[in-house]
Chains A and B, each alone.
Chain A
């Protein structure tokens, strides 16, 4: 190999630089980070089992939107035989009052952005004067 003395250290340096975020996280202990969404202290039960919600909350919310806006049907019959109002604010956010402590925890970790809060308003947003 011509110029092996330059190429091989150069390659090692390049790979090191490219993977540096991984090294940094491993050293600083961030690699083991697990998001911890804050659960409401006084409520025991979500509208559906945790495992279902964890995977399907986006589909569920999309279905709710479709049902309320398009068909005017607001009653959600949950698998626990209870009826819930299909309403992001009055149902979901009545327990999970602050989206920064709940939604954002996982969304930020997974690099997910959504536009729900461009229009919808979560309860603590008004209280904390985040908007007028």
Chain B
């Protein structure tokens, strides 16, 4: 059979098209696929942070929505005494939180207002350095995580944390939980616990419970590595406070007055 140049090109072209069908299909069909489980690389693209707008927070005096929401979903017990208190998110007076701001004549109005406190999810967390069993560590996305299975209750992390964000279970917390949420484990006697920035909710694409619960939208949560994110916009061109920044722990919870 004699092939003209034209037919040869036609056949060659069709063959190429045929051969490229499968790899092409693979590439194109992969575009719509759901995001796979996070790997250290995908986690590293994020760096979670939180901003707290104090003036918005103070609008509704005595509001405890964020604290209630957090404690409800994380099975945080209420032991009733200050000594055994389990703290994930709590408040403290302004002059105690920012003692360096305490001048006689400035910020008078704020001195005794409650400031919302939670684990600062430090970029250089001292608790992680102190933990002898690596039960606490910093994830690639900046969250200081705890493995309750591994905690031996030595409380070195509590001594190391300059913010008092960690609490120890002196006794079985279960009887002190108002209503147990079966989706989240309780803790047991002899482990330390703290705010986990709602890792389990972030996994499902939700924002932390406290941020969701705030009616005044005083809490802003987002990815600090994303320049377009809401938190970056909020933090821009503002005077922003961190707790004890001089310690070099680089907190990722910011306060805006």
Chain A residues proximal to chain B, CB less than 8 Å: 65, 69-75, 89-90, 115, 118-121, 123, 125-126, 131-132
In the assembly, what is the distance between CA of A115 and CA of B190, in Å?
A: 13
Query: Of B37, B139, B178, which contacts A74 at CB under 8 A?
Result: B37
Query: Of B38, B148, B199, B203, which contacts A119 at CB under 8 A?
Result: B148
Query: Which of B104-112, B118-126, B180-188 interfaces with chain A?
Result: B180-188
- Are B148 and A89 neighbours in the complex by a CB distance under 8 Å? no
Q: Which residues of B contact A75 (CB under 8 A)?
A: 36-37
Query: Of B37, B149, B175, B186, which contacts A121 at CB under 8 A?
Result: B186
Interface centre among B145, B175, B185 (most CB of A within 10 A): B185
In the assembly, what is the distance between CA of A8 and CA of B148, in Å?
A: 57
Q: Which residues of B contact A72 (CB under 8 A)?
A: 37-38, 43, 139, 199, 203
B147 within 8 A of A: yes
- Chain B nearest CB, measured from A82 CB (Å): 15
B47 within 8 A of A: no
- Size category of the B interface is 20 to 34
- Chain B nearest CB, measured from A71 CB (Å): 7
- Chain A nearest CB, measured from B13 CB (Å): 38
In the assembly, what is the distance between CA of A121 and CA of B175, in Å?
A: 14
- Are B187 and A89 neighbours in the complex by a CB distance under 8 Å? no
A119 and B182 contact, Cβ closer than 8 Å, known pairs A69-B149, A73-B37 = no
- Chain B nearest CB, measured from A23 CB (Å): 40
For the complex of A and B, 4 pairs with smallest distance between CB atoms = A119-B185, A118-B188, A121-B182, A73-B37
- Which residues between 28 and 65 of chain B lie within 8 Å of chain A, taking CB atoms? 36-40, 43
- Are B185 and A120 neighbours in the complex by a CB distance under 8 Å? yes
Chain B residues proximal to chain A, CB less than 8 Å: 36-40, 43, 139, 145, 147-149, 174-175, 177-180, 182-183, 185-188, 199, 203
- Chain B nearest CB, measured from A108 CB (Å): 21
In the assembly, what is the distance between CA of A33 and CA of B199, in Å?
A: 45
A71 and B186 contact, Cβ closer than 8 Å, known pairs A119-B148, A126-B180 = no
- Chain A nearest CB, measured from B77 CB (Å): 11
Query: Of B38, B39, B145, B178, which contacts A132 at CB under 8 A?
Result: B178
Closest chain B residue, CB of each to CB of A65? B149
In the assembly, what is the distance between CA of A40 and CA of B182, in Å?
A: 20
Interchain Cβ contacts under 8 Å between A and B, 21 examples: A69-B145, A69-B147, A70-B147, A72-B139, A72-B199, A74-B203, A75-B36, A75-B37, A115-B188, A118-B188, A119-B148, A119-B188, A120-B185, A121-B185, A125-B182, A126-B180, A131-B174, A132-B175, A132-B177, A132-B179, A132-B180
List 8 additional contacts besides A71-B39, A72-B139, A121-B185; criterion CB under 8 Å: A69-B147, A72-B43, A73-B39, A74-B37, A89-B182, A119-B187, A123-B182, A126-B182
Q: Which residues of A contact B185 (CB under 8 A)?
A: 119-121
Q: Which residues of A contact B139 (CB under 8 A)?
A: 72
In the assembly, what is the distance between CA of A119 and CA of B187, in Å?
A: 5
- Are B149 and A73 neighbours in the complex by a CB distance under 8 Å? no
Interface centre among A72, A115, A123 (most CB of B within 10 A): A72
